[in-house]
A = this chain, B = another copy of it.
Amino acid sequence: MEDQKIRNMEEFSAVSGISRPTVSKYFNDPTSVRRSTRDRIEHALKQYDFRPNLFAINQNRKSTKNIGIVVPHIVDPFFAEIVRLIEQRCIEAGYWAIVLSSHGEAELEANALDLLRSMKLAGAVIAPLGERSDRARMMQFASEIPTVIFDSPLGSGEAFVGTDNFHSIGLIVDYLCRTGEPPCFLEMPAVNENALERKNAYIGAMERQGLTPEVVPVAESDWGFEQIGYEQGLRLLSRWSFPTSTVLCANDRIAIGLLAAAYERGLRIGRGPGSAMRIAGHDDHPLSRFTCPPLTTVAQDHAAIADKSVSALFDMIEDGGPQDRAPVKLEGKLIMRLSA
- Chain A contact residues, CB within 8 Å of chain B: 51-56, 58-59, 74-75, 77, 80-81, 83-84, 87-88, 96, 98-99, 101, 103, 114-115, 117-120, 226, 230, 256-257, 259-260, 263-264, 286-287, 289-294
Contacts and interface: CB of A to CB of B under 8 A. Distances in A.
State the main secondary structure of chain A at its contact with B.
helix
A293 B53 CA distance: 52
Contact of A263 (B96, B114, B257, B293): B293
A80 B79 CA distance: 11
B59 A56 contact: yes
A259 B294 CA distance: 11
A286 B51 CA distance: 39
B55 A120 contact: yes
Contacts of A290: 226, 230, 256-257, 259-260
Contact of A77 (B77, B83, B96, B292): B77
17 contacts: A51-B114, A53-B118, A53-B119, A54-B115, A55-B56, A74-B74, A75-B77, A75-B80, A75-B286, A80-B80, A84-B103, A87-B101, A88-B103, A257-B290, A259-B290, A263-B293, A287-B287
Contacts of A56: 55, 59
Nearest to A51: B118
